Structure 1
Amino acid sequence: MELLSLQGLSHIVGVPPSILTTWVKQFAMYVPKVQEEEGNFYLPEAIDVLKYIKQCKKERYSCTEIENLLVTEYAVLDKQNLENKADPAVHQVDDKETIRCMMQTIGLTVSNINQLSESFHALEHKYREQTRELNKLKKQLELLHSKQIH
């Protein structure tokens, strides 16, 4: 069973983690999650639910309206899933979709790591420049101080 972190889910759904956290709390019974020692992780099925919620929010539905839509929408999906359990072709499609989502998440993670690395190097360069400037100012201060004493 593949599990997604909140951060990974955030990238896939295209919503900031803070908003996703709120949605997960508001619509908890529709967002499948697993609680582990390291924290909460989400089943791949959560992607569709959260994308649906995102679309509803975009269309300015209230939480109550979204809840009502989720009841009807995901009751139908559950019935379809039960009917498709015996069909191996459906599992293949689900597996391909899961792999696609995982690859997207990995790609976004690599991209984020590259961006963070670039930011780190830029900050490191700035730190060195500021340290040099600080040392220069210290020397000037020491020189002024020594001139005042003499």
Structure 2
Amino acid sequence: MDGLLRKKDLVDVVGVAKSTIADWVTEFAVYIPTVKHGAVTYYKPEALDVLNYIRELREQEQSKVQIMQLLAKKGFPITVEEAVEDVQRVLSGADPRDTLLTVMQTMGQAVVEIGKQTERQNRIETRISEQNDRMDGQDGRIQTVEGKQDEAAGRMTDLEQKIEEMRQQLVNAQAEAAAAKQEAAEAKEQANKRRGLFGWFK
């Protein structure tokens, strides 16, 4: 898998014995980021930083408790699931090398990490809520605009109807004017004929 490491890769890069790496990834599992693919465990590249730091501390003859404290102080993130498994191992007596202090520290780190995750989740939920509020406001404005558009469309339809009525009235007026003009011309022609006939009798 791209970017992920096997235990053999950790041995090659960190430069310690395979058994030593096996011990470290078990003892300090809460600080070793892993990815499980089926039954196989792969290690994220960040695990190398943790293991190299552990190697430096071991060379300084630091104890496991001291290393756990220094890893926490260094700011390496912990994996909550691994922390819970670590505590369960100690409480079941499966790992006698761990001490009560280590357990308490691991639990403390797990609680802090859970608190951080809760805070991040709350911030995300707040942003989602704010985004939803903004979207609701935009929907309201869109509905207002659409309402105004519908009103404008209605007024436009009324205006078009009035224009059509006025156009029809103008056509009718023009027809009436043409008819009146025709009647006037015919009346004038009749008047001229009568004058001509009167002049002939005279």
- Structure of greater Rg: 2
